Structure 1
Amino acid sequence: MQRTSDVDIEIRLLIEAIYLKYSYDFRDYSGASVKRRVLHAVSQFECQTISALQERVLHDAGAFMQLLQYLTIPVSSMFRDPEHFLFIRREVVPLLKTYPSLKIWIAGCSTGEEVYSMAILLREEGLLERTIIYATDINPASLEKAKVGIYSMENVRAYTENYQRAGGQEAFSNYYTAAYGNAIFDSSLRDNVTFADHSLATDSVFSETQLVSCRNVLIYFNKNLQDRAFGLFHESLCHRGFLVLGSKETLDFSAYSARFETLARPERIYRKL
């Protein structure tokens, strides 16, 4: 049985090796979260030690892509926290309608549930056709699933309830076709969506936007990386642009807290000053 200190050293070496070999930077992710995910991966890979896992992923790019699925476990749902989307519909959308065109950045889009939720809301509010949505994530497998837009019908039942509570104006079934236990979402919802690989840890801003949504991503970052992400969002947003965070995330105590005003604290929606 390895001592805890040995495990911590091995994890640091693994994360550094991943950065040097593959340019994926997990060095400023939450230590507890990385440790939990790495130890789970060691078990799933049937390795005796973290060092053995490191040797394997360094010499096998395919093994690294498998490991990446454990390091970036996608957890999402459509219209998650319905009151959040209801506030956007009622309070933010009227302001977005004042722009002749819109650019929205969904950072850490995972397998795309947030993207389709936003696209549906924008369509119902007459904004989707004049909006470009940038959907970014560091996990290529998640991005591929997001591009396809196929989700289990078992999950869609919960999505339907969320949609209704979020102020949905149609029958949710209008947006997908059911087949073989899955829901295939209308491809027109992603006509204006650009899916792209982007890391909040290493990459820079790529466009000016009116709204940035980054929900349930920053909880896995340490304070330094959170501040880096906030800096990217601040740089990307136009004057008076909107920043949307997850229910357990906040700008409070960050290096950028004074550069935003709180529009809705329970819903974690902010506006650039």
Structure 2
Amino acid sequence: MNETELFDLELKLLLEAVYQRYHYDFRDYALASLRRRMRHAMSRFDCPTMGALQHRLLHEPETFAQAMQYFTVQVSEMFRDPPYFRVLREHAVPVLRTYPSIKLWVAGCSTGEEVWSLAILLHEEGLLDRAIIYATDINPEALQAAESGAFALDRLAQFSRNYLAAGGTGSLSDYYSSGYGSVVFDRRLKRNIVFADHSLATDTVFSEVHLVSCRNVLIYFQRPLQDRAIGLFHEALVHRGFLGLGSKESLQFGEHAAAFEACARDQRLYRKLA
């Protein structure tokens, strides 16, 4: 057994131990990504071996809480992949308007950039007041950051460019106030957002929804967990509901590929079939 195989064996033992100790299930996450992030965690917590890291995580719950950032990927930006938001305006919004009330689910919301982007889009399309956006993640610190609606000021230039490219009808500055090197988005946008802990690996469906947006999350899952997540989305969606995935994700070859049709294939927007 070479060093990489031995490291992967220790990593799998760590993931099993974390599941048994804390009931967070990372066992079907992509090993290549976890391998890299666990090396960062070993450095961060001054652990020379995977066994030393496992010992600390199991015996020090406060260390495990800090280490959650290494198990999950917290990389996003507002209106990321602007063409995706354009096809939401073009294809999904006209259908959503036909409902008296709508529910959306942002699964794996990370630090909230996509949640606030969707809230702004719905506001501009006149739908936010009759919408509920469920924003879920397994990382408590990420959820807290998402709920705060606060972002570093130096990120706003890119956010603003994305907003305009995504079909924004005004200026992104209309929606936030700034000060002390950061910005905070308008609290009125938050009234229709529900932030909650939810694991795609272990939890079940909690509501019927009209649109699920789960972007750049499935790429960190192995196939069985990808299929489980898509199954949850299929169960949650109303008849002909919409599913949005990330630019590098696809339903092709998955267990539920036949349960959806492409609405805008290039932008990974799908609709549930009967």
Matched residues in 2 for 1:257 and 1:54: separation? 37
The offset of 1:31, in angstroms, is 1.0
Give the 5 Å matches for 1:78-117.
Answer: 78-117=78-117
Matched residues in 1 for 2:60 and 2:43: separation? 18
More deviation, 31-40/244-253: 31-40
Matched residues in 2 for 1:108 and 1:72: separation? 9
Q: Is contact 2:91-2:263 (8 Å) kept?
A: no
Give the 5 Å matches for 1:137-216.
Answer: 137-216=137-216
Identity %: 58
Letter of the aligned partner of 2:33 in structure 1? S
Q: Tell me which residue corresponds to 2:241.
A: 241
Secondary structure of the 1:262 match is strand
Matched residues in 1 for 2:8 and 2:166: separation? 43
Matched residues in 1 for 2:113 and 2:172: separation? 14
Matched residues in 1 for 2:148 and 2:25: separation? 27
The offset of 1:85, in angstroms, is 0.3
Matched residues in 2 for 1:4 and 1:164: separation? 45
Give the 5 Å matches for 1:23-42.
Answer: 23-42=23-42
Matched residues in 2 for 1:184 and 1:165: separation? 22
The offset of 1:36, in angstroms, is 1.0
* Count of matched residue pairs: 272
Q: Does 1:228 align with 2:228?
A: yes
Secondary structure of the 1:266 match is helix
TM-score by length of 2: 0.98
The offset of 1:25, in angstroms, is 0.3
Matched residues in 2 for 1:83 and 1:121: separation? 13
TM-score by length of 1: 0.98
Matched residues in 1 for 2:91 and 2:45: separation? 48
The offset of 1:8, in angstroms, is 1.4
Matched residues in 2 for 1:133 and 1:60: separation? 35
The offset of 1:4, in angstroms, is 2.1
Secondary structure of the 2:266 match is coil
Secondary structure of the 2:13 match is helix
Post-superposition CA distance 1:149-204 (Å, at most 9, x none): 10011111100000001110111101000101111100111101110000000000
